[in-house]
A and B are shown apart, each in its own frame.
Chain A
Amino acid sequence: MKHRPWIAVGLSLLFAGLGQLYNRSYIKGIILVMLELAFIITFADFIGLGLWGIATLGTIPKLDHSIFLLVYGLLSLIMLAIAGMIYVLNVRDAKKEAEQLASGWERPKLRERMKQAYMTSMPYVLSVPGFILLLFVVVFPLLFAVSLAFTNYDLYHSPPRQLVDWVGFDNFVSLVTVPIWNQSFMKVLSWTLVWTVVSTTLQIGLGLVLAVLVNDKRVRFKRIIRTILILPWAIPNFVTIMIFSALFNDQFGAINRTLRDWFQMAPIPWLTDPLFTKLALIGIQVWLGFPFLFALFTGVLQSISHDAYEAADVDGGTRWQKFRYITLPHVLFATGPLLIIQYTANFNNFNIIYLFNGGGPAVRGQTAGGTDILISWVYQLTFTTNNYNMAAAISLIIGVIVIAFAFFQFRRTKSFKEERDH
């Protein structure tokens, strides 16, 4: 009888492992059959409940807890996805082997096959535990947050007393139609972008300049200077921010006091004028952020070979040319990904905004304070009124922006490309 691949495909579709049995791969077939049986017996109830739960989010208040049901549903989907992947592999395997058998291929000895299987599957076996961990630690919470953005989960639709329902894109629609959301959104978004770019660029610039200066051969007491420059990093940043907040106090802060006593200047409205608050925030962030970059750049600078500079000296390169064509490419090449992380971290730098002036000063006619960035605005709007659904929706938008930015930059960064070339 001729061996027919389509029978193998059909059988393995019917039940995992049947195709392999037809192909006379008995061990593999039995393992797959047992796997599917075990999966169905163990998880059928849970997945049934989960899929029903994620579709309806519960039907009877107090008995059904929508949030639990959502979690079960997501877990079920993840498990089904894993099972589906194994199923697809099973069908492909059955087809491939059947085709080979049909074309008269001789199956090698068992021991030979074991050895081959070991060699090919080892990398997968090694990465599977990490991958599964990743699914549950990263992908699952992400899916949960994304799901919430499409529900009406707020205080008045909170389990256990009430059920949560799917509302589709309603939250995103109200984000652009309801005045308290849309009035402030663009203003907050634009300040968030300005804040991110200016404060991060300045802190990188300052870190680089100081690193290059201190790295110069002629500078003495390098060790002490480096230690001092790294000190701001050693203090927990919320302490620093609170102290700065006191220093910048309009009337009692040391800064305005000093300006008054030494220069007879009128008090600067650091905490009551949005412009000055913004300046102060950027200054504080630069102070908080530069030591890390200084340390980072110092490390890279010391690894640059002197040969390159000597060669440049021979060719009569100027100081600027040496910096521009030797130092800078080296430094940026090695630190690119970390610099991108600095930008994304500042984009979501909740601590400094919230602790310095609570996003204030208040601005008339809008719900966001003068220095609120997206993340602090979301916090204030949603956690005073428990609008978890809106929080999830705005977080989703923030996530998309950050991911888009990071993705674009990472693709342009040489340090990642290099790896791909090898």
Chain B
Amino acid sequence: MKKTWILACLCILLFGVTACAPDRSGQLGGAGEGGNDGTSSNNEASVNSDGTGQQQPDKLVIWSNDDAKHLKVVEQLAGEFAADTGVQVEVVPVSGSEQVQKLSLAAPAGNGPDLFYQPQDRLGDLAVQGLAEAVELSQQERAEYSAAALDAVQYEGQTYGFPISIETYALYYNKALVDQPPVKMEDIAGTYASLTDAGQDRYAFLMVPDFYYAIPFIMNYGGYIFGQQDGKYDASDLGLNNEGAVQGMSAYASFVKETGIPATMTTDVMDTLFLEGKAAMTVNGLWAMKPYAEKLGDDLGTAPLPTVNGEPAPSFVGVKSWFISSYSKHPEWAKRLALHLTNAASSEVYYEQTGEIPARPDAQQSIADPLYDGFVQQLDSGVPMPNIPEMSTVWAMDDAVDFIVQGEDPKSVLDETTEQIASQIKASGR
């Protein structure tokens, strides 16, 4: 009984020994073309930047976000491209948050898109996994996009994306309660003291105590997230517990306390209070504009964030972009399609249908709605959210902000959190 088992196992083992590496001498040459190191095919790209060097493909595939408005406008713009060039464009809706994972499986197997859609903060992940292709843009092409947007789609000194839209947060105010938006963050508590009465649920100024909204305080006092060298982030250089950051967070804590912002404020509660006219000012993103405007009508105003420590407040800027897949067989044509999708005319159409701010100065200027003014102005002082993969560990700062707002010592909290972030970066496997 036992013997037969052992013998059978032996047979299987023998079989296993015969299994050996597949012969891939034929495929090796092709590997360089499909996946790239960003050098060889880039040179190629600059030579044929008008796309004439590559044979015209029958069809390009593009993964758009699956949100209905976005999908509709992308389909419309892709249709224009097809009519102009004769290249069919297949628009496949794939949820933005799932694209990276699907791409890593589909693209190497040859089922991926030529062009896909991602916010710029995923760029590091994309580059590390070799999924997005660096692009060479001419001076003229670069000049079309706003500098902030192009900065945001750079990774390790190379440009990857074609910016579609750009977003940040700014100040919303209720004109029925506030005549003039404040200029200095530090003045808010004093100037609008009469509007705050926690017992009656009335608040002059609300913002969610999170790292995302606290970054202007950290940066304007001299803190930073990652150090930068030659346009590259250095993840080993964390500036979240330097002297400036500690001062900034102390200033933030006293600002929150003096202004009377509840420590457990959430976006839902804040929105409700603002819509009910109980909160006079809030800090929120562009996405809140529609519900706010529907409820408040003409009373709604926007403004750039008040200055912090005498300087314009640097808010986090996010940029949604098209990226060319490393596995695209027609990168030149994918680039042409991306340039078409983000040109001035397309950007205006995109803005009209989605309400997102285009990443091009010319299209930004053509926005007629005065509510956008505050945001467009705020973009000037915004900072791109770091796009290296290590950024995901920095959100541990949310807890630090909580502790500091609850009155704990900023220095020790920041030291602790920075150490945590550093060790998490170390454990992430880079």
Interface string of A57-80 (1 = CB under 8 A from B): 001111101011000000000001
- Determine the chain B residues whose CB is within 8 A of the CB of A162 once the complex forms: 129-130
Q: CA of A390 to CA of B424 in the docked complex: distance in angstroms?
A: 12
> Known contacts being A272-B264, A367-B420, A386-B125, is A157 close to B429, with CB within 8 Å?
yes
A99 to chain B, nearest CB (A): 13
Do residues B423 and A180 form an inter-chain contact, with CB atoms below 8 A? yes
Whether the pair B125, A160 counts as a contact (CB closer than 8 A) is no
Contact A156 B128 (CB under 8 A): yes
Decide: B16 and A51 in contact? CB cutoff 8 A.
yes
Task: Flag if A52 contacts B125 (CB, 8 Å).
Answer: no
Cβ distance A55 to chain B, nearest Cβ, rounded Å: 8
From known contacts A62-B35, A91-B4, A161-B35, infer whether A272 and B21 are also in contact, taking CB-CB under 8 Å. Answer: no
- Cβ-closest chain A residue relative to B398: A362
Question: Which residue of B is nearest A158, CB measured?
Answer: B129
CB of A378 to closest CB in B, whole Å: 14
Report whether A387 and B20 are in contact in the complex, using a CB–CB cutoff of 8 Å: no
Q: Does B131 contact A (CB under 8 A)?
A: yes
Contact digits for B128-141, partner A, Cβ 8 Å, 1 yes 0 no: 11110000000000
Stretch at the interface among A26-34, A246-254, A311-319: A246-254
**B24 within 8 A of partner (CB):** yes
Asked if A159 CB lies within 8 Å of chain B CBs, one says: yes
Residues of B within 8 A of A390 (CB): 427
Instruction: Check if B12 is an interface residue, CB within 8 A of chain A.
Output: yes
Interface residues of B in 403-430 (CB under 8 A from A): 403, 406, 408, 413, 416, 420, 423-424, 427-430
A160→B266 contact, CB < 8 A? no
Task: Tell me the minimal C-beta distance from A241 to chain B in angstroms.
Answer: 14
The complex places the Cα of A56 from the Cα of B21 at a distance, in Å, of 9
Closest to A366 in B: B420
Contact of A180 among B35, B130, B389, B424 (CB under 8 A): B424
Residue on A with the closest CB to B429?
A154
CB-nearest residue of chain B relative to A12? B4
Q: Which residues of A contact B20 (CB under 8 A)?
A: 48, 52
Interface size, B (range): 35 or more
Question: How distant is B241 from chain A, measured CB to nearest CB, in Å?
Answer: 14
Looking at the complex, which one of B35, B104, B428 makes contact with A385 (CB distance below 8 Å)? B428
Let me know if A384 and B395 touch, CB within 8 A.
Answer: yes
Q: Which A residues are in CB contact (< 8 Å) with B416?
A: 364-365
Q: Which residue of A lies closest to B422 (CB)?
A: A180
A231 at the interface (CB under 8 A from B): no
- Known contacts A52-B19, A158-B104, A160-B107; decide if A60 and B28 are in contact (CB<8 Å): yes
Are A84 and B262 touching (Cβ within 8 A)? no
B8: chain A residues at CB < 8 Å are 13, 84, 87-88, 91
**A244-277, CB < 8 A from B:** 246, 249-252, 271-272
A174 at the interface (CB under 8 A from B): yes
A50 to B19, CA, bound (A): 8
A9 within 8 A of B: yes
Q: Which of B5, B24, B326, B428 contacts A63 (CB 8 A)?
A: B24
Q: How far is the CA of A62 from the CA of B109 in the complex (A)?
A: 11
B68 within 8 A of A: no
Contact string, A158-169, partner B, CB cutoff 8 A, digits 1/0? 111110000000
A385→B424 contact, CB < 8 A? yes
Which partner residue on chain B sits nearest A85 by CB separation?
Answer: B8
CA distance A272 to B403 in the complex (A): 10
Residue of A nearest to B17 (CB): A51
Q: B395: shortest Cβ distance to chain A, in Å?
A: 7
A83 CA to B262 CA, complexed, in Å:
67
**Known interface pairs A60-B28, A249-B266. Does A52 touch B21 (Cβ–Cβ under 8 Å)?**
yes
Is A155's CB within 8 Å of the partner chain B? yes
Chain B residue contacts of A92, Cβ below 8 A: 1, 4
- Assess whether B389 is in contact with A63, with CB atoms less than 8 Å apart: no
Given A180-B420, A252-B269: A155 and B429 interface contact (C-beta under 8 Å)? yes
Q: Does any Cβ of B come within 8 Å of A152's Cβ?
A: yes
CB distance from A64 to the nearest CB of B (A): 9
Verify B428–A154 contact, CB threshold 8 A.
Answer: yes
B392 to chain A: which residues have CB within 8 Å? Answer: 384-386
A11 part of interface (Cβ distance < 8 Å)? no
- In the complex, what's the smallest C-beta–C-beta distance from A303 to chain B, in angstroms? 46
Minimal beta-carbon separation of B42 from chain A (angstroms): 16
Min distance, Cβ A327 to any Cβ of chain B, angstroms: 45
A178 contacts B by Cβ under 8 Å: yes
- The answer to whether A47 has its CB under 8 Å from any CB of chain B is yes
Cβ-defined contact, A161 with B429, below 8 A: no
Does B18 make an interface contact (CB < 8 A)?
yes
Once the chains are docked, how many angstroms separate the CA of A47 from the CA of B18? Answer: 10
Q: Does B108 contact A (CB under 8 A)?
A: yes
Closest-by-CB residue of A relative to B103 is A160
> In the complex, how many angstroms separate the beta carbon of B10 from the nearest chain A beta carbon?
9
Whether a CB of chain B sits under 8 angstroms from the CB of A309 is no
Q: Are A59 and B21 in contact (CB under 8 A)?
A: yes
Residue in A65, A67, A160, A362 whose beta carbon sits within 8 Å of that of B403 in the complex: A362
- List B residues 98-118 near A (Cβ within 8 Å): 104-105, 107-109
Separation of A390 and B86 alpha carbons in the complex (Å): 49
Contact A160 B12 (CB under 8 A): no
Q: Which chain A residues lie closer than 8 Å to B108 at the CB level?
A: 62, 65, 68, 159-160
Q: Encode B18-38 as 1/0 by CB contact (under 8 A) with A.
A: 111110100110010011000
Choose among A67, A155, A272 the residue that contacts B389 (Cβ–Cβ < 8 A): A155
Residue from B27, B31, B130, B264 in contact with A249 in the complex, judged by beta carbons closer than 8 Å: B264
Partner of B104, one of A83, A91, A159, A181: A159
Taking a contact as CB atoms under 8 Å apart, the answer to whether A387 and B427 are in contact is: yes
* Neighbouring A residues of B31 by C-beta, 8 Å: 60, 62-63
Contact code string B199-237 (vs A, CB < 8 Å = 1, else 0): 001000000000000000000000000000000000000
Q: Which of B18, B130, B403 contacts A364 (CB 8 A)?
A: B403
Give the residues from 119 to 174 in chain B that come closer than 8 angstroms, CB to CB, to chain A: 125, 128-131
Instruction: For A157, list chain B residues within 8 Å (CB).
Output: 429
A61 proximity list for chain B (CB < 8 A): 35
State which residues 282-334 of A face B: CB under 8 Å.
none
In the bound complex, residues from chain A placing their C-beta under 8 Å from that of B402 are 361-362
B368 interface contact, C-beta 8 A: no
CA distance A158 to B129 in the complex (A): 6
Q: Report the Cα distance A63→B34, complex, angstroms.
A: 9
Q: Are B7 and A364 in contact (CB under 8 A)?
A: no
Give the most central of B11, B327, B429: most A CB within 10 Å: B429
List which B30-76 residues lie within 8 A (CB) of chain A. 31, 34-35
Q: List residues of chain A with CB within 8 A of the CB of B406.
A: 272
Of the A-B pairs whose beta carbons lie under 8 Å apart in the complex, a sample of 8, sorted by A's number, is A49-B19, A56-B21, A60-B31, A91-B4, A92-B4, A95-B4, A385-B428, A387-B428
- 3 closest cross-chain pairs (CB), A and B: A161-B130, A362-B399, A62-B35
Q: List B residues at the A interface (Cβ < 8 Å).
A: 1, 4-5, 7-9, 11-12, 15-16, 18-22, 24, 27-28, 31, 34-35, 104-105, 107-109, 125, 128-131, 201, 262-264, 266, 268-269, 326-327, 389, 392-393, 395-396, 398-399, 402-403, 406, 408, 413, 416, 420, 423-424, 427-430
Show the binding face of A for B, using Cβ within 8 Å: 9, 13, 47-52, 56, 59-63, 65, 67-68, 80, 83-84, 87-88, 91-92, 95, 152, 154-162, 174, 178-181, 246, 249-252, 271-272, 360-362, 364-365, 367, 384-387, 389-390
